[in-house]
């Protein structure tokens, strides 16, 4: 059985701008992270992923990197990250960073050079193309849309050509066909590994190759978001394997590729099976959108597709059984808050705990996104001015263009439902002004319920969601059930049940039965023949079993230790 340190980890994702502001300028920073390492240790995690803090004009909050080797002034300096690595390691916490391979900022020196002339030595660091003439007018080389709206090409007057940018205008895509680019980015990764980091979450890794520049015919929109034109194309795998051999392998580091929604399970295995010798794991998002969020007009109509969610989990678990390893995460900095998605306001504690248990008891490496451990919920954004995220702002303009006669409140409501700003509001440390995140007004408004949902209160309350997360982490990392939770097999049972997500874990003599009610309904469920020997973790004060039948309350979740009947 393959055993790696990162299989025996529980990760915590930090979005630096919103985590903790130590210098009181309204923006979270590296000293803020440093000062909260003790907190993370107390929660029990042994791995942190820190989102970009590199020098950047912050068009996309740091994913637009201007200098890969420098810390942005707003976040601190290189000594701070060195201190974070050192002190985290002393606490037994490993540190991974975001490695942004697909693009740079347009203010990166390579791009400043590249755009100067067609024969500049850096010209081929990026993807340049001539425009086409249509109806006597110069237009983009293809009709492909960018993820953040509009064309994925941007005209540059200096050389009258177009550069490719699948995210924002200020994020030109690197040309991975160019060996100099590959080497330069390998050097970036090595530099950070030599500084002591334990690996990377690799941003947008699936986009390192583009298809032939031919128009998409998916729709007849002016710009078509046709992911296949720049996702998971064959050479991406070559690049990733090359990085593995050239950079990652000698360091025994963790590499998690962000492959997004377009990577099938087969693709996932091509990136991250043990045999692929490419990445350690991939973040897919298939389980993140198992509801009707994108098709409804009102959050009141939100409904979780439990069957679909179960299928997605079970299919990935099944495919990776013995073949590879999966991260387990409910959300990240790009997705709405979990509790406003699959959780329930009416059953706040029960649903927050159930969601945690359902995820943390599976096979894989759990990742908690900051604030998830207390059940933070979406922000009630009401005006365009309240948004900070470029994708949300562009989404608003796109909707206004498409529906010029629509009611403004309707447009805002649509943008709010999927906005990436929800997970980026400041962490609620306590119930004081600005949620204990800062002493001044933060760069993005605090969600106005920090008096009810905050870390200080939940740490005091033994029955809180926070303590539930802590217990789950302890069970996984330090209890005598560690082996079954980490390495045990996974088997979903009662596959067709519309409300319950039930699975078994098994390792040597240990066997667990994990029962999760994903609904606000009471559910009566016949237990399998195995004998229940103990309750390991639950989210109600008691467990109602009568005659081998389980009487479950809304969002109830129980982990049983069981023994096969002999
Ligand atoms: C994925 C990151 O998670 C997201 O926040 C970012 O905007 C894009 N990649 C571009 O770097």
Above 90 in pLDDT, residue 564?
Answer: no
| Shared-domain flag, residues 311 and 452 | no
Query: What is the Å distance from ligand 1's center to 538 Cα?
Result: 36
Site to probe by mutation for ligand 1, drawn from 58, 60, 102, 108 as the one with most ligand atoms within 8 Å of Cβ, is 60
Measured between alpha carbons, how far is residue 443 from residues 61, 343, 418, 426 in Å? Answer: 11, 27, 20, 9
- What angle is formed at CA 62 by the lines to CA 58 and CA 64, rounded to 5 degrees? 80
| Contact between 46 and 9 (Cβ < 8 Å) | yes
Query: What is the Å distance from ligand 1's center to 188 Cα?
Result: 18
| Shared-domain flag, residues 375 and 411 | no
Please tell me the predicted confidence (pLDDT) of residue 496: 95
* Measured distance CA(497)–CA(554) in Å, rounded: 15
* Measured distance CA(333)–CA(19) in Å, rounded: 12
483 within domain boundaries = no
**Atom 6 of ligand 1, nearest CA residue:** 63
| Shared-domain flag, residues 82 and 13 | yes
| Shared-domain flag, residues 253 and 316 | yes
Q: How confident is the model at residue 431 (pLDDT cuts 50, 70, 90)?
A: very high
- Tell me the average pLDDT of the chain: 96
| Shared-domain flag, residues 464 and 369 | yes
Q: Which is the closest atom of ligand 1 to the Cα of 60?
A: 7
- Cross-strand pairs, 504: 491, 513
Sheet containing 489-493: which strands, arranged edge to edge? Answer: 489-493, 500-507, 510-517, 557-563, 531-538
Q: Which has the closest alpha carbon to 486: 506, 471, 502?
A: 506
Number of separate domains in the chain: 5
| Shared-domain flag, residues 39 and 52 | yes
| Shared-domain flag, residues 72 and 137 | no
Print the domain residue range for 207.
179-215+230-285+305-325
293 within domain boundaries = no
Query: What is the Å distance from ligand 1's center to 28 Cα?
Result: 19
List 203, 267, 373, 421, catalytic entry? 203
| Shared-domain flag, residues 52 and 93 | yes
- Cross-strand pairs, 11: 47, 367
Please tell me the predicted confidence (pLDDT) of residue 261: 62
Above 80 in pLDDT, residue 260?
Answer: no
Above 90 in pLDDT, residue 255?
Answer: yes
310 within domain boundaries = yes
Q: Which has the closest alpha carbon to 118: 103, 107, 130, 100?
A: 130
Q: DSSP of 117-165, one letter per residue?
A: -TT-TTGGGB-EE--EEETTEEE-SS-BBPTTSSBSEEEETTTTEEEE-
Is the whole model's pTM more than 0.75, yes or no?
yes
**Atom 3 of ligand 1, nearest CA residue:** 334
Q: Which is the closest atom of ligand 1 to the Cα of 100?
A: 11
CATH number of the domain residue 17 falls in: 3.20.20.80
List 29, 258, 286, 373, catalytic entry? 258
Above 90 in pLDDT, residue 263?
Answer: no
- Phi, psi of 303, deg, nearest 5: -140, 130
Please tell me the predicted confidence (pLDDT) of residue 1: 82
Rg (alpha carbons) of the chain, rounded to whole number: 24
Q: What is the torsional sign of CA 251, 252, 253, 257?
A: positive
Query: What is the Å distance from ligand 1's center to 256 Cα?
Result: 14
| Shared-domain flag, residues 206 and 312 | yes
220 within domain boundaries = no
Region of residue 315 (left: phi > 0; alpha: psi -120 to 50; beta: else): alpha
**Atom 11 of ligand 1, nearest CA residue:** 63
Q: Whose structure tokens read 């529980």?
A: 10
| Shared-domain flag, residues 435 and 555 | no
Per residue in 451-502, pLDDT tens?
A: 999 999 999 999 999 999 999 999 999 999 999 999 999 999 999 999 999 9
Would you tell me how many other CB atoms lie within 10 Å of the CB of residue 322? 9
Above 80 in pLDDT, residue 565?
Answer: no
Within 6 A (CB) of ligand 1 lie 60, 63, 100, 167, 203-204, 258, 333-334
State how beta strands 545-546 and 549-552 pair: antiparallel
Please tell me the predicted confidence (pLDDT) of residue 269: 96
Please tell me the predicted confidence (pLDDT) of residue 566: 66
Per residue in 88-144, pLDDT tens?
A: 999 999 999 999 999 999 999 999 999 999 999 999 999 999 999 999 999 999 999
| Shared-domain flag, residues 320 and 186 | yes
Residues 387-396 have a mean pLDDT of 95
Query: What is the Å distance from ligand 1's center to 145 Cα?
Result: 16
**Where do the DSSP E strands lie in 474-564?**
489-493, 500-507, 510-517, 523-526, 531-538, 545-546, 549-552, 557-563
Site to probe by mutation for ligand 1, drawn from 18, 185, 204, 207 as the one with most ligand atoms within 8 Å of Cβ, is 204
Q: Which is the closest atom of ligand 1 to the Cα of 258?
A: 1
CATH number of the domain residue 549 falls in: 2.60.40.1180
User: Catalytic annotation on 258?
Assistant: yes
Per residue in 347-383, pLDDT tens?
A: 999 999 999 999 999 999 999 999 999 999 999 999 9
Region of residue 135 (left: phi > 0; alpha: psi -120 to 50; beta: else): left
**Orientation of helix 348-360 relative to helix 465-477, angle to 10°:** 20
Per residue in 31-82, pLDDT tens?
A: 999 999 999 999 999 999 999 999 999 999 999 999 999 999 999 999 999 9
Q: Which has the closest alpha carbon to 312: 114, 526, 165, 492?
A: 492
CATH number of the domain residue 130 falls in: 3.90.400.10
Per residue in 68-104, pLDDT tens?
A: 999 999 999 999 999 999 999 999 999 999 999 999 9
Q: Which is the closest atom of ligand 1 to the Cα of 420?
A: 5
- Cross-strand pairs, 528: none
Query: What is the Å distance from ligand 1's center to 462 Cα?
Result: 36
245 within domain boundaries = yes
| Shared-domain flag, residues 401 and 372 | no
Q: What percent of the chain has pLDDT over 70?
A: 100
User: Catalytic annotation on 510?
Assistant: no
Q: Which has the closest alpha carbon to 454: 433, 427, 434?
A: 427
Separation of CA 344 from chain center: 21
**Atom 2 of ligand 1, nearest CA residue:** 203
Q: Which has the closest alpha carbon to 309: 476, 489, 516?
A: 516
Per residue in 280-304, pLDDT tens?
A: 999 999 999 999 998 898 888 999 9
Query: What is the Å distance from ligand 1's center to 272 Cα?
Result: 20
Q: Which is the closest atom of ligand 1 to the Cα of 148?
A: 7
Q: Which has the closest alpha carbon to 4: 330, 357, 367, 279?
A: 279
Query: What is the Å distance from ligand 1's center to 30 Cα?
Result: 20
Residues 303-330 have a mean pLDDT of 96
- Phi, psi of 495, deg, nearest 5: -55, -35
């Amino acid at each position: 059985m393959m055993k790696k340190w990162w299989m025996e980890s529980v990760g915590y994702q930090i979005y630096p701008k919103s985590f903790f502001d130590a210098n009181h300028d309204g923006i979270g920073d590296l000293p803020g992270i440093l000062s909260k390492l003790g907190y993370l240790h107390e929660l029990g995690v042994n791995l942190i992923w820190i989102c970009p803090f590199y020098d950047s004009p912050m068009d996309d909050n740091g994913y637009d990197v201007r200098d890969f080797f420098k810390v942005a002034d707003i976040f601190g300096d290189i000594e701070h990250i060195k201190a974070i690595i050192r002190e985290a390691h002393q606490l037994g916490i490993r540190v991974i960073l975001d490695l942004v391979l697909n693009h740079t900022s347009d203010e990166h020196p390579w791009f400043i050079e590249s755009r100067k002339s067609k024969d500049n030595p850096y010209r081929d660091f990026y993807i340049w193309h001539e425009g086409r003439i249509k109806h006597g007018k110069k237009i983009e080389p293809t009709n492909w849309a960018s993820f953040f709206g509009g064309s994925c090409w941007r005209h540059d007057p200096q050389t009258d050509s177009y550069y490719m940018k699948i995210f924002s205008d200020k994020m030109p895509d690197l040309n991975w066909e160019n060996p100099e680019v590959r080497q330069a980015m390998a050097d970036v990764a090595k530099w950070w590994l030599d500084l002591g980091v334990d690996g990377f979450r690799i941003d947008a890794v699936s986009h390192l190759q583009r298809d032939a520049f031919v128009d998409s015919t998916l729709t007849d929109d002016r710009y078509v978001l046709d992911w296949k034109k720049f996702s998971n194309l064959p050479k991406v795998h070559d690049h990733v394997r090359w990085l593995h051999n050239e950079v990652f392998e000698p360091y025994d580091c963790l590499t998690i590729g962000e492959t997004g929604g377009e990577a099938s399970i087969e693709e996932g295995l091509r990136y991250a099976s043990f045999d692929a010798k490419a990445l350690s794991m991939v973040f897919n998002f298939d389980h993140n959108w198992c509801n009707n969020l994108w098709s409804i007009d009102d959050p009141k109509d939100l409904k979780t597709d439990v069957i679909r969610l179960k299928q997605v989990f079970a299919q990935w678990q099944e495919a990776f059984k013995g073949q590879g390893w999966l991260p387990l995460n409910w959300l990240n900095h790009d997705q709405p808050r979990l509790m406003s998605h699959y959780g329930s306001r009416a059953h706040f504690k029960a649903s927050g705990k159930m969601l945690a248990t359902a995820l943390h008891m599976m096979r894989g490496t759990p990742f908690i996104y900051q604030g998830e451990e207390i059940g933070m919920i979406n922000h009630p954004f009401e005006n365009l001015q309240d948004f900070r995220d470029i994708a949300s702002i562009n989404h608003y303009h796109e909707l206004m263009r498409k529906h010029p006669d629509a009611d403004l409140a309707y447009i805002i409501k649509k943008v709010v439902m999927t906005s990436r700003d929800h997970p980026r509001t400041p962490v609620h440390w306590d119930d004081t002004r600005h949620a204990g995140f800062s002493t001044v007004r933060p760069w993005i408004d605090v969600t106005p319920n920090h008096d009810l949902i905050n870390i200080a209160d939940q740490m005091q309350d033994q029955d809180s969601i926070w303590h539930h997360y802590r217990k789950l982490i302890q069970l996984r990392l330090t209890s005598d059930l560690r082996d079954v939770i980490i390495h045990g097999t996974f088997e979903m049972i009662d596959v067709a049940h519309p409300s319950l997500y039930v699975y078994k874990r098994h390792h040597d003599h240990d066997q667990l039965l994990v029962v999760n009610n994903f609904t606000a309904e009471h559910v009566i469920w016949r237990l399998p023949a195995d004998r229940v020997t103990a309750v390991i973790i639950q989210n109600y004060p008691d467990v109602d079993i009568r005659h081998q039948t389980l009487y479950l309350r809304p969002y109830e979740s129980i982990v049983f230790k069981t023994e096969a009947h002999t």
